[in-house]
Structure 1
Amino acid sequence: MSKHRKPLSSAELTEIRIRSDSPDIRALLWEIHRLRQVAGKADQLDRSLGPRVGALGLIRAELRVLLDDEPCIVEMPRIDLSTR
């Protein structure tokens, strides 16, 4: 059993803000927004680096597993470049 709770989606975070729109909640939500942007940049970087080989490839593979479970990555619109 994981020691962490299930990640919250954007919709769930919006519901929290609506239910409890205090300055402290807004500050926490802005921090979550900032951290989601960091995860998005890590996702972009990993996807741009090409094949995962060697020791660095193992580290990137572990990062990919973590990123693929993040709602901010799952919810992110994707452009299919393979058809161009």
Structure 2
Amino acid sequence: MFTQYFAEQPMPHRAPLTAERLAAIWDNHPEPIVLELLWEIHRLRATISRANQIRAFLAPGGHGNIPGSVWECFKRELDAEPCLQDKPTPRQHAAIDRIVRRPREG
């Protein structure tokens, strides 16, 4: 429900952080919670890299066949992804409610 709603209603995002910027954040804030967040970012970046690998196989000029090992790894990564299974938090419910109540422009 939650992920489906936001898939239909794109959220504005900040510009992606480069590896250099992530390293600078760690240099300026070498705290356990920052390290935990950086490991999560690393994990998500690895999933994005795998998706890009699959895109290269399927793109024009690619051969259209994804090696089974690449596909199985990607499926395992997605199946383990909490954001695809978690129920919305109270904060997320409040955000959805604000968006739904917002008058439509146009």
Same fold by TM-score, threshold 0.5 exceeded?
Answer: yes
TM range (shorter): 0.5 to 0.7
After superposing the two structures, state which structure 1 stretch, 23-32 or 2-11, moved more: 2-11
Name the CA distance, whole Å, in 2 between partners of 1:50 and 1:8: 26
Per-residue CA deviations over 1:21-71 (Å, capped at 9, x if unaligned) read 1000000000000000000000001111243xxxxxxxxxxxxxxxxxxxx
Structure 1 counterpart of 2:35, one-letter code: R
Query: Please, what is the CA RMSD of the aligned residues?
Result: 1.3
Name the CA distance, whole Å, in 2 between partners of 1:41 and 1:5: 22
Q: CA deviation at 1:4?
A: 1.3
Matched, 1:28 2:37: yes
TM-score by length of structure 1 reads 0.56
Tell me the number of residue pairs that the alignment of Structure 1 and Structure 2 aligns: 50
The structure with higher relative contact order (CA 8 Å, sep 6+) is: 1
Q: 1:17 aligns with which of 7, 23, 26?
A: 26
Rg comparison, structure with higher value: 2
Within 5 Å, which residues of 2 pair with 1:5-84?
5-51=14-60
In structure 2, the CA distance between the partners of 1:45 and 1:26, relative to structure 1 (3 Å rule), is same
Any unmatched runs of 5+ in structure 2? 1-10, 61-106
TM-score by length of structure 2 reads 0.44
